[in-house]
Amino acid sequence: MMRWFALLLLLALPARAESVLQIAASADLTGLDPMGPAATGTYIHGMLVYDTLFAQTEKLTIRPQMVGEEIVAPDKLTYTMTLRPGLLFQDNTPVTTKDVIASLKRWMTLDIVGRTLAIDVASMEAVNERTFIIHMKRPFPVEQALANSGSGLAVIMREKEATGGVFTRNTAIIGSGPFRFLPDEWVPGDKFVYAKFAGYVPRAEPPDGLAGGKIPKLDKIVFHVMPDASVKSSALQTGEIDFIDALAFDQAEVLSKRRGITVGRLSDTYNTFFMRPNALFPPFNNPKARQALMLAINQPDYMAVSFVKPDWGQPCLSFFVCGSPNGITTGSAPYAHQDFARAKQLLADAGYKGEKVTLINSHETLFVGMAGDFAADNLKQIGLNVDTIESDWGTFMTRRNNKAEPDHGGWNIFITSVSGSGTFSPLSNSIADTTCGARNFAGWTCDEEAAKLRDEWIHEPDLDKQRAVLEKLSARLWEVMPAIMLGQRAQLYAWRNNITGFVHPPSLVTVFWNIEKAAS
């Protein structure tokens, strides 16, 4: 009798309410493949759905993630790695070394760090379903490469997708991460949705950045596409959404004064903010024209226009993040001050005669749009005939990867920001990669001398010698000018105060494991 009464009481209890986090996305989800160059939203998607062999902590150190055991040979040429037990894909099939090797091979064709690693990989072989070996030709920071979060992610996919070519709308998105992508609820331009993966087995360690135990405490995560910054702010205040990813800086001041809302940073690492010239076509195929752009810039102006407060945006004359272990400024002295006269002379020396220069821009990411507007006027002062093409962020991202001539769908200049977790190191710094062959980051600057110095830095085990190489590399980059450094920025967010448990990533990749939502 008591047992039946207990059962009836249990059935009478209300079902636990589903825990759903409503997010105003930084932008629409325009790509589902996180292995190559992509928008930050695609990398956030990648970290939700997939997992990596190693991961960066909040302080940019490296920890094992999918790897349970690792043996590195004394000569640093053989890495034997064993996957931790319990790893399942979201179709409930086990993750095997066939999937790992296929995924790494794919990543090595798409990403700057992967391509750099691939040059030194002699072979990869599976010992059994959980253990594999990477044989290197020469010493290389393998774990750092596999943990990179500043460019394409070395996520592990099923062998089927890893060998299936370019991702399309019909590609199955099945990873082994803490959340599942729900393609049937994806409405481009409106929303994209994820649900907890019940089969995910977190690591035992506490969460730390992108490493440690990824515990999915939310049942569902819904990203809403809201291009207008003020609309996002209003939705947060009314409770329609819980979190704003990549908060517009002008709205940060407004929301910081609202009761029940927190505005803040989740990462202490600043992110590189820059103008990227296209080195494939005149006038910026000539280094002198790129140097002219830098001489036209006064960094504090761009910081004020885009970021409002000094602690949200800072001048920085380093290609490797000011305040980071590599944040040197060697070679920057000639460009520390704006010089229009010298800039005009360099443009003339480069053969520029007033041809149209196409600047692509998007106010959907407001700080980019504001800087683009300012740049259009700024660069006209040195005689550039600037034509601004405005678009939504997805179109902007698509066009910046187009290698066609500017009048045929290409471009001459764009402004953007990339994660400091990648740019602090020459290994993963996409804008400092001057590898020839137009396979590097959009802009495609080619300089063999800088590429050689980057290679020396990567393979130099002696820290003092490595530092000396870094000084030479910095000096050369300021001559080649692959990017026009505008400064560096914080990443701001806003959330309702019933949201707790935030993990602090080292990058622009916002993570949503460990987060809880209390009733408001």
Is residue 320 a part of any domain in this protein? yes
Q: Is the pTM of this model over 0.75?
A: yes
Which of 173-182, 272-281, 361-370 has the least mean pLDDT? 361-370
The average confidence (pLDDT) of the chain is 93
458 within domain boundaries: yes
For the segment 74-120, what is each residue's pLDDT rounded down to a tens digit? 999 999 999 999 999 999 999 999 999 999 999 999 998 999 999 99
Range of the domain at 455: 271-489
Q: What percentage of the chain has pLDDT greater than the value 70?
A: 97
Q: 450: helix, coil or strand?
A: helix
pLDDT digits (tens, 9 = 90+) for 409-460: 999 999 999 888 889 999 999 899 999 998 889 999 999 999 999 999 999 9
User: Does the pLDDT at position 216 exceed 60?
Assistant: yes
Domain count, the chain: 1
Residue 26, domain member (yes or no): no
Rounded alpha-carbon distances, angstroms, from residue 401 to 39, 191, 382, 480:
11, 24, 27, 21
Is residue 5 pLDDT above 50, yes or no?
Answer: no
Q: Which pLDDT score, from 0 to 100, does residue 471 have?
A: 98
Q: What is the pLDDT of residue 6?
A: 45
Name the β-bridge partners of 387.
358
pLDDT in tens, 316-364: 999 999 988 899 999 999 999 999 999 999 999 999 999 999 999 999 8
How far apart, in Å, are the Cα atoms of 323 and each of 210, 307, 320, 326, 513? 21, 18, 9, 8, 28
d(CA 133, CA 83): 11
Q: Give the whole-angstrom CA distance, residue 233 versus residue 253.
A: 11
Q: Give bridge partners of residue 76 from the DSSP assignment.
A: none
Which two three-digit tokens encode residue 154?
Answer: 């070395």
Q: Give the per-residue pLDDT at 16.
A: 61
Assigned domain for 167 exists: no
Q: What are all long-range contacts of 90-96, with beta carbons under 8 Å and residues at least 24 apart?
A: 90/49, 90/174, 90/175, 90/176, 90/180, 90/197, 90/199, 91/158, 91/174, 92/199, 93/158, 94/129, 95/66, 95/156, 95/176, 96/126, 96/129, 96/130, 96/159
pLDDT band for position 246 (50/70/90)? confident
Which pLDDT does position 393 carry in this prediction?
Answer: 85
d(CA 35, CA 114): 9
Rg (CA), the chain: 24
Residue 291: inside a domain, yes or no? yes
What pLDDT was estimated at residue 249? Answer: 85
Q: What's the CATH number where 340 sits?
A: 3.10.105.10
Q: Is residue 333 part of a domain?
A: yes
Give yes or no for residue 314 having a pLDDT over 70: yes
Whether residue 439 lies inside any domain: the answer is yes
Residue 388 lies in a domain: yes
pLDDT in tens, 7-32: 444 445 455 678 999 999 988 898 99
Q: Which two tokens stand for residue 397?
A: 């991202």
Give the pLDDT confidence of 131-163 residue by residue, as tens digits: 999 999 999 999 999 999 988 999 999 999 999
Q: Which of 198, 206, 191 is nearest to 176 (CA)?
A: 198
Count CB atoms within 10 A of the CB of residue 19. 16
**For residue 410, what is the DSSP state?**
-
